[in-house]
Amino acid sequence: MNQRFTIDGSDTLETHLGKTCEKVLAGVKSLVPVAKLDGIALGGGYGRGEGGVLKTPAGDQPYNDLEFFVFIRGNPILAERKFRHSLHELGESLSPEAGLEVEFKVLTLDKLRRSPPSMFYYDLVAGHRWQLGDDALFAGCEHHRDAAKIPLHEATRLLFNRCSGLLYSLEKLKRKDFGEAESDFVGRNLAKAQLAFGDVLLAAHGQYHWSCRERHARLAKFEIKSELAWAAPLLAHHEAGVEFKLHPHRSAESRENLANRHAELSALGKQLWLWLESKRLEIKFNAPRDYAFSDANLCPETSALRNRLVNFRAFGAGGLSCSRYPRERLFHALALLLWGENDFEKVCSELRTEEIEFAGLVAAYARLWGRFN
């Protein structure tokens, strides 16, 4: 892997990130007994050598989160339960001086080896920077290095999260008061959507890659067939998304400009969503309403028994009667809220809320999204 954290960040920024990693290593070692600690890997953009560089009058600053994966021996549930809180506190203590969020994820190598392919694990195994350990630890994880094995429902999940960002942005654009914080939030989420839309198209065709620059190169060579004529704008949007990821900035655009960009991306996202879900589920969806009111199982990769238990934990005894995964509720609600179908009765039913105003419905959506995104 590239031993730089960024493509073109200053030496000062690189040194700062390196020293932060040293503090992380020392902190984790102080919390996890050496007999329990297998390794520590930095994932995300900085772990792949493509971290964001925020240009400021004071010099280059970090922008993205630092995402560390701590590999602990033993039962994954017990390891998570035992070390999650202390590692979270360590991240909070290091974040202010680091100038960005320091986050930890507890994993076991055994669980990683046994887990089926996913975009999350592919990104980690294919692109990372070791703080403790080396690639020998990833023996038996070869299935996570093949992007062609990433299932279609992973592309849906990526698109779902970025379209959720568009929904939250729409709620902010509708607010009476719209200031710098709202502008920055909306601008950031528009850029994330621009990047993700092209990534989704690649992932759906088995051409995803851990490097955003390589993904853009592949998208530039992608043949847009007649049935995907609507996807032609994805390349230009993806270019803008890559540029923002590598060189982010804080948006100060007007509400009007952002609203126009949001409308364009939302329309493109609708086309992409209907195409992807029609492909994934082998059911033709012509409009968001068709999708929102479909009886199809939108999460067929999950088991009915586990879904009943998840629903029980989320909604109480009444949830035992539901064999569908709760994320399906969010899929239905997203299609109606983001793409203007305005069937609030259906949305209220899916989100189990009595809210009737748009802002309240989005807040209810966000609460459920926080549990099942």
| Domain ranges (residues) in the chain | 11-148, 151-282, 283-373
Over residues 11-27, the mean pLDDT reads 97
**What are the tens digits of pLDDT across the range 98-143?**
999 999 999 999 999 999 999 999 999 999 999 999 999 999 999 9
- Under DSSP, the state recorded for 51 is B
pLDDT of residue 2 exceeding 60: no
Q: What pLDDT was estimated at residue 362? A: 95
User: Cα dist. 264→122, 198, 234, 316, 339 in Å?
Assistant: 31, 15, 11, 40, 12
The better pLDDT of the pair 356, 255 is held by 255
Q: What pLDDT was estimated at residue 252? A: 87
Buried b / exposed e along 43-58 (16+ C-beta atoms within 10 A): bbbbbbbbbbbbeeee
**What are the tens digits of pLDDT across the range 221-272?**
999 888 899 999 999 999 999 999 999 999 989 999 999 999 999 999 999 9
Q: Percentage of the chain with pLDDT > 90?
A: 87
Work out the angle between the directed axes of helices 212-221 and 180-204 (0-180°, nearest 10): 60
In angstroms, the CA 62 to CA 21 distance is 13
pLDDT of residue 1 exceeding 50: no
| DSSP-assigned states of every residue in 92-125 | HHHHHHHTS-EEEEEE-HHHHHHSPP-HHHHHHH
Whether 171 and 72 have beta carbons less than 8 Å apart is answered as no
In angstroms, the CA 72 to CA 112 distance is 11
Over residues 346-355, the mean pLDDT reads 91
Mean pLDDT of the chain: 94
**What are the tens digits of pLDDT across the range 270-313?**
999 999 999 999 999 999 999 999 999 999 999 888 888 888 88
**What are the tens digits of pLDDT across the range 57-109?**
999 999 989 999 999 999 999 999 999 999 999 999 999 999 999 999 999 99
Q: What pLDDT was estimated at residue 360? A: 95
Q: Amino acid letter at 281?
A: L
Is the fold of 11-148 the same as that of 151-282? no
Q: Percentage of the chain with pLDDT > 70?
A: 99
**What are the tens digits of pLDDT across the range 174-203?**
999 999 999 999 999 999 999 999 999 999
Determine whether domain 151-282 maps to CATH 2.60.40: no
Among residues 65, 274, 35, 247, the alpha carbon closest in space to that of 156 is found at 274
Q: What pLDDT was estimated at residue 321? A: 76
Determine whether domain 11-148 maps to CATH 3.30.460: yes
